[in-house]
Amino acid sequence: MVQDINMPAPGISRFEAALQRRADRLGVGVDQVLAHDRQALRSSRYPTADCLDPYEVELFFAAELSEERIAHVQNCPMCATTLDVVKPREPLDEAFSTPTEQEKVAPANIPSWRPAADAGALVALPLLAVGAATIEFGWCRGHSLPQLRSGWDASCSRLSERGGCQNG
């Protein structure tokens, strides 16, 4: 059975496996690699005032970084490493234009949110309820138009039985 180089042996962390691979590649012991890394961190001057800002990293991948800043990346191993580590796996325009797996399986009949229409519905429903109550009780008190009055006689008789209509 062939072991995947990216998968550490059981009981060994990925960090320890990577550290061992580095030591083997350099022909030194793990302790020497760790000592070197500690010394490099202590003596590092990164980031300098000239190093890339986060927005410049975005500009780099959008191919909008100035030539002067690209020259800095070519001379600064830490900025070059930063760009290598954060490099998108796919082009940015494809990442944002391609539907996600969740969008692919979502039902197509889900209506989209329309703020104006939805807000109108939220306002209209209470107004309709208040209007209906006003019409009901207002007409029962004798304020109805004569041609509409006959439609509400049954309501007035029901309310008068409960003592709520003054017309009934």
User: What residues does each domain of the chain span?
Assistant: 14-105, 115-161
Averaged over 104-127, what is the pLDDT? 63
**φ, ψ for residue 144, nearest 5 deg:** -90, 160
CA atoms within 13 A on the CB side of 5: 5
How confident is the model at residue 44, as a pLDDT? 83
Handedness of CA 92, 94, 97, 99 (dihedral sign): negative
Name the residue among 40, 39, 19 with its Cα closest to residue 30: 19
Residue 89, pLDDT above cutoff 50: yes
Residues 168/144, Cβ–Cβ less than 8 Å = no
Averaged over 94-122, what is the pLDDT? 64
Helix, strand or coil for residue 128?
Answer: helix
Mean pLDDT of the residues in the chain: 74
Residue 116, pLDDT above cutoff 90: no
Averaged over 26-54, what is the pLDDT? 91
Residue 12, pLDDT above cutoff 80: yes
Which has the minimum average pLDDT: 67-71, 112-116, 124-128, 152-156? 152-156
| Residue 153's pLDDT band (cuts 50, 70, 90) | low
CB-count exposure of residue 19 (10 Å: 0-12, 13-18, 19+): middle
